[in-house]
Chains A and B, each alone.
Chain A
Amino acid sequence: MPRTGLPPFQRLLDEHGDDVLGFLIASVGPSDAEDCFQETWIAALRTYDGLEDERNLRGWLLTIAHNKAIDHHRAASRRPQPRSELPESGSRDADPAAKGRPNGRLWGLVGALPDKQRLAVALRFAADMPYRQIGATIDCSEEAARRNVHEGLKTLRKELA
């Protein structure tokens, strides 16, 4: 049976393409954002006509992007790191390819934040997401989402100062 009120998929690309890319740049770094972007939209298109609820399509897309970002970090942390010294802080290495790019240092620092902080900061600043929704997306309370953004920013502030 043909479905309900889902808009043509093109509209999602027009309205949310930049946000999804911005979120992915902030969460996996500019050099890997493109791959995650492709995976996100292919996964979205694949499941789109089975979608039950046409409200909050943006949240749905960002949740898919968030899952792709997590997958990406898991895969990246399994890859051997070609370096001799350990990073000083953070759960993983900063994106080495980002260094020569504009804002390379910034993405390096964001990439070195712990997962939840990095994703919370990305959702807050790339997607302007309210804390309640950030919590729902990264699976924590609204209060914890606020704290993750706060802690993430505090670290960035210190490093950038």
Chain B
Amino acid sequence: MNAQNDTEAILKAAIGSADAGAAIARFKANAEKEGLIEIAYAVTDTPFGPLLLASTDRGLVRTSLPRYSQDETLAELARQISPRIIESPKRLDPIRRELDLYFEGKLRARPSARTRWPH
């Protein structure tokens, strides 16, 4: 009986230590390369609080301010556009940089004048 429990415990411990974090990061890079991510999103800090940015390969499709539920916003995008939605900040980097500059007062024009905002 004991030997049985030991074997199961050894198995569980060996499997349970699996941490997919690094593998998931590589998967996201692969998926982006193969053009499989329909919507990439990122959450960025602003003076108003965390702001959700979501983008297709044609540009920004949605922003969602802190008082809206991010889960709700993403579920809506899944219904309206595609459920192939992955958190992938890289695609949003240019927009995040512009927002940062804008909030630091270093960007005179509103970011919307320079970035493709929702149609």
Chain A positions within 8 Å of B, measured between CB atoms, are 2-10, 13, 17-18, 20-23, 25-26, 34, 37-38, 41-42, 45-46, 48-49, 102-103, 106-107, 110, 121-122, 125-126, 153, 156-157, 160-161
Closest A-B pairs by Cβ, 8 of them: A17-B20, A8-B85, A6-B83, A22-B18, A22-B15, A21-B20, A103-B14, A21-B18
Does any Cβ of A come within 8 Å of B113's Cβ?
A: no
Which residues of chain B come closer than 8 Å to A48, judged between CB atoms? Answer: 83-84
Hey, what's the 0/1 contact readout for B68-105 against A, CB within 8 Å counting as 1? Answer: 00000011011111111111000000000000000000
Q: How many residues of B contact A (CB 8 A)?
A: 40
Residue of A nearest to B23 (CB): A37
Q: Find out whether the CB atom of B18 lies under 8 angstroms from the CB atom of A25.
A: yes
The tally of CB-CB contacts under 8 A between chains A and B is 116
Assembled-state Cα–Cα distance A110/B15 (Å): 12
Q: Find out whether the CB atom of B85 lies under 8 angstroms from the CB atom of A42.
A: no
Residue of B nearest to A35 (CB): B23
| CB-CB under 8 A for A37 and B12, given A49-B84, A157-B3 | no
Which residues of chain B come closer than 8 Å to A45, judged between CB atoms? Answer: 31, 36-37, 84, 86
Q: Find out whether the CB atom of B11 lies under 8 angstroms from the CB atom of A106.
A: yes
